Amino acid sequence: MSDEDRPSSSSSKRASLLRLKSKVKEVKQVVMSSQLPQTHYKKEVTRPTRLTGLFPNTTNPVVFSAPMLGTANGRLAAEVSKAGGFGFIPAGYNFNPESGPDHLGQLGEELKIARKVLDLEQATLTAVPVGVGFILCHESARTHFIERAIPVLQEYSPQAVWLFAPRVEDVEGGVVRGIIDVLHDNGFVVFYQVGTVKAVKEAVRDGADVVVAQGTDAGGHQFARGAGTMSFLREVVEVVKGEKERTGREVEVVGAGGVVDGRGVVAALALGADAVVMGTRFILAEEATTPKFKQELIAKTTDGASSTFKHTVMDDIQGTTIWPKIYDGRAIVGGSVEDHLNGVPVEDNIRLFKEAAEKGETDRTITWAGSGVGLVSKTQPAGEIVKEVREEALQRIKELPTLF
């Protein structure tokens, strides 16, 4: 072979490099397919963050769907995750095997559904890219959570666990810290929902990986004494930054309350949040288990400032007794709330609520929703909501430089 016919050293190296790149690509495809089907990994090109490192199926800006009891479920959560967000399934509050609703039994079924939707039925050793949300204010959390909830989580393997509303004595007595330690021992990322700076510091101290900073704009249950998302989220970011400097621990901050579209996402990111949680917007998801009359009410409600009301009285009226008084909720103003605002005694309001329920009337029903409800008007698939919100956020980010 002549020198002209002999491959050069540089061309040989290029050929080797191409073969190596091809091999790396094949390995990546195998690794990715072992977690989720390849089609679920089609992402926009965005900078990876610690949060997307914790949840590789997510795409920035990350949208989490809240674990709303009575609304969220395995299918909704899975569709959110398929679209590059991250969905949470509600696991309720009762951990007592002797009495009350069997929330943990229902949780197992919902996690099976999520695994099926994500094509992971056969991949039993692969964690499901969804989370599970627990309410801790029931007394059974202290006595039965580790005994009853951990085995279910071990069996069905979600990636994350969201904790909310522990009793004050359980925080101060180390019960919550013990729960978080056990969750970490089993490999779960722990989210901790907060509504005050004091709660933020407790969450970081007790080992939370992600703090959900919920402002009072949020719908449903929250801290009775709190601040709007705009001011609260900014303060939480500063507190977490200070805790990192003091302890060296990395804790992510996720903003919640009043975020219903891409513009809200951008606002939360500008305030320092790493991602957002949306609740009210997903009440209108096609996969939601929300009764149709509540979806229709939310879709037609405008002016969240005057059409929603935040108080403890809604729980009194509908007979929800598990919540300590440090928590209340925001709901749409209906017949029951109108009567309360007009001075009708709680006892009479309860009676009217029960009478309406017996007749099948819905005008006195409590419908939880955030102050952003006026921006929520259409029913969509959950995955479509995630994609629409993300695309709107990215477009708004691109437009911002033109303002300056």
The residues annotated as belonging to the active site are: 221
Peptide bond into 7 cis (omega under 30): no
Give the span between the Cα atoms of 339 and 352, in whole angstroms.
10
Q: Which amino acid is at 135?
A: I
Residue pair 253/272 in contact by the 8 Å Cβ criterion: yes
Name every residue whose Cβ is closer than 8 Å to that of residue 383 and which is 6 or more positions away in sequence: 79, 80, 82, 83
